[in-house]
Chain A
Amino acid sequence: MKKNKTLSRDAVANVIFYIIAVIMIILVVYPLWFVIIASFSNPADVANGEVWLWPKKLDLSGYQELFKQRMLWTSYRNTIIYTFVGTLIGLAVNIPAGYAMSRKDLAGKKWINIFYLIPMFVSGGLIPTYFVVKSFGLLNSFWVMVLPFSVSTYNIIVARTFFKSSLPETLWEAAQIDGCGTFRYFIQFALPLSKAVLAVIGLWTAVGLWNSWFNALIYIQNENLQPLQLLLRRILIANQSLLGAATGTMAQELRQLSDMMKYASIVISTLPIMCLYPFLQKYFNQGVMIGAVKE
């Protein structure tokens, strides 16, 4: 009798959980789906609220206008280059540091730890950092987007935790006896055994770079160096019409068209990550888990 009661209560709890889950799925998916279908629909129908589940009167005018913008191609190319180079630099800088910090025999470990942790909590702030970047002559340069802020203490900790837990101490001892030095060991043994953490940190860095714009806003004035996200700012946020001014009925049409450009620009800037993500989800999750071990 008692057991039956427990079972039925559990069934009720379960049903409630699934209902909540389905509602959440709809809340997440529908706005994203709406943006996609709106971007392919007739501008007037979108504006009048007649697009709900499927694209209406297939229309690519938003994309056409967007693709006409020369800046789109420049900034898209810039973002791809920043993401690629920045990810390589991020890996080259953070992974060796993580490895070094994972070694038990690192002399002065305590002080090194403190040196790396302090910047997590205190920073010079906007203006002093701006002055430093300026004095290095990095304003309006390609490198400011990929080099100065590539150190990530968090990623170093993730790498350190990974090396500590997955590289057996005995491997290093055995290698040492065979006359293998630190560098050779790091390149020939440690790196090949840590593809998972390379993937995790590489992916995180890449997504961060793809989505970043603050540094570009502060340090880059040259239009030809601007990343995609800053062009999006002009289209999405500043509501700057890239289409020119008009009056009367023309104005309404232009406004609708600029809305279509918004939908289209969201789709083309976000699609690469959205499409790749489900296949890479495993790695993203792993990263959070490795990071959590430390705590």
Chain B
Amino acid sequence: MKKTKVTAIKKSIPLYVLLLPSAILLFCFAYLPLGGLVIAFKKYSPALGVIDSPWVGMKNFVQFFKSYQFPITIKNTLILSLYGLVVGTPLPVALALMCNQMKTKMFKKVFQVITYLPHFISTMVMCGLILIILSPSNGLIANIMRLFGQEAPNLMGSAGAFKHVYVWSDIWQHLGWNSIIYLAALSSIDPTYYEAATIDGATTMQKIRYIDLPLIMPTIIVLLVMSAGNILGIGFEKVFLLQNTLNITASEIISTYVYKIGLQSSQYSLSTAIGLFNTVVNVIILLIVNFIAKKTTDTSLF
């Protein structure tokens, strides 16, 4: 038994060599930083270094929980990500179901190329686009509203509008792209189901309701579990770029706060503690959602 294991390992040596570059990089830039997490429990001072800085236990976490930023950042993060989840899950499914029904090949193709297009715009350009199009003085929206004699609201300067701008611009950019995976699932459905349904006189809507939807449900659930696990981890980039002093009360989220505390005001330990808290909550939510999905629908990530 032991001997076969040794020969198996020996035979795998060339494969280990192929794995080596990625393993070394992962070790250095993903695992070593995990070790650096200890400074969340220390009072880090650059003069002493990571190892010699004094331990302070949970003090950094307590400081975050007690700060007035704690409820605000948690609330904003949850609002943006739940809103995104609620709108962003069903719409790509609906789009895929619709696209799957298109009989004109040419039209379908053009439609796909166009709706996938915005996905490739960089976050930076996307945010620039949002800012100039929504500009209340001479943006596209303002100009259209002026045609109807209306004054445009300053959407980027309003805390209440931030979540709508954030979520719907995301939908605009990624809706088409996010539907690809469902289209792939739909294309693998056995055509005999549809033939049988047609013979029984089922309408298009009935086929969607009773064949398509149940058969792509596992895909929907897996993707939902994956995004639920990231509920406190919504992208830093877009929120950070769209943030300004007028909408900050709605746009300060955990990751932007971690950035500001850490790199702008150099409170390394506090910033790391907040980041660690975020990661732990993410993992817990992922495990819980995965467990529920497994119990109730027999579909899960792992």
Residues A232 and B50 in contact in the complex (CB < 8 Å), given A20-B98, A24-B115: no
Residue A97 CB within 8 A of the other chain: yes
User: Which has the most chain A C-beta neighbours within 10 Å: B18, B181, B184, B204?
Assistant: B18
Are A151 and B128 in touch, CB under 8 angstroms?
no
**Pick from A210, A262, A289: contact of B122, CB under 8 Å:** A210
Residue numbers in B under 8 Å from A103 (CB-CB)? 15
Nearest residue in B to A131 (C-beta to C-beta)?
Answer: B36
Cα distance, A32 to B286, chains bound together (Å): 37
Q: A49-B142, A124-B34, A148-B29 are in contact. Are A270 and B122 (CB under 8 A)?
A: yes
Contact across chains for B29 and A270 when beta carbons are under 8 A apart: no
A selection of 25 A-B contacts at a CB cut-off of 8 Å is A6-B203, A13-B205, A21-B107, A21-B111, A97-B19, A97-B21, A97-B22, A105-B15, A119-B30, A124-B35, A125-B279, A126-B262, A127-B39, A128-B39, A151-B30, A211-B122, A232-B128, A236-B132, A237-B241, A263-B132, A270-B125, A285-B180, A288-B180, A288-B184, A292-B219
Instruction: Find A28's partner among B117, B146, B202, B278 (CB 8 Å cutoff).
Output: B117
Residues on B with beta carbons closer than 8 Å to the beta carbon of A99: 18
Residue interface bits A197-237, CB-to-B below 8 A is 1, else 0: 00000000001001111100010000000000100110111
Assess whether B58 is interfacial by the CB under 8 Å rule: no
Check if B69 is an interface residue, CB within 8 A of chain A: no
Chain B residues, CB < 8 A from A237: 124, 127-128, 131, 241
* A31:B124 contact, CB within 8 angstroms: no
**Contact status A156-B124, CB under 8 Å:** no
**Residues of chain B with a CB closer than 8 A to A17's CB:** 98, 101-102
| A18, A28, A34: most-surrounded residue (chain B CB, <10 A) | A28
Cβ–Cβ contact B25 & A105, under 8 A: no
| A129, chain B: closest CB distance, angstroms | 4
Contact (Cβ within 8 A) A10 B203: yes
Chain A residues with a Cβ under 8 A of chain B? 2-3, 6, 9-10, 13-14, 17-18, 20-21, 24-25, 27-29, 31-32, 34-35, 46-49, 92-94, 96-97, 99-101, 103, 105-108, 112, 115-116, 118-119, 121-133, 136, 147-151, 156, 181-183, 186, 207, 210-214, 218, 229, 232-233, 235-237, 259, 262-263, 265-266, 269-270, 273-274, 277-278, 281, 284-285, 288-289, 291-292, 295
Answer yes or no: B114 CB below 8 A from chain A CBs. Answer: yes
A282 CB to nearest B CB, Å: 10
Q: Give every chain A residue within 8 A of B246 (Cβ-Cβ).
A: none
Residues in B11-27 with C-beta less than 8 Å from chain A? 11-12, 14-19, 21-23, 25-26
The answer to whether B143 touches A213 (Cβ under 8 A) is no
Q: Is the CB of B19 within 8 A of A100?
A: yes
Q: Mark B140-162, 1 if CB is under 8 A from A, else 0.
A: 10110011000000000000000
Q: Is the CB of B123 within 8 A of A151?
A: no
Q: A107-B11, A116-B26, A127-B268 are in contact. Are A13 and B19 (CB under 8 A)?
A: no
CB contact list, B99-132 vs A, under 8 A: 99, 101-103, 107, 110-118, 120-125, 127-129, 131-132
State which size class the interface on B falls in.
Answer: 35 or more
Instruction: Say how far A74's CB is from chain B's closest CB, in angstroms.
Output: 17
Q: Does B52 contact A (CB under 8 A)?
A: no
B276 touches A (CB below 8 Å): yes
Nearest B residue to A31, CB-CB: B133
B120 pairs with A229, CB closer than 8 A: no
B191 lies within 8 A of chain A by Cβ: no
Q: What's the nearest-Cβ distance from chain A to residue B120, in Å?
A: 5
Q: How distant is B18 from chain A, measured CB to nearest CB, in Å?
A: 4
**A46 cross-chain contacts in B, Cβ below 8 A:** 138
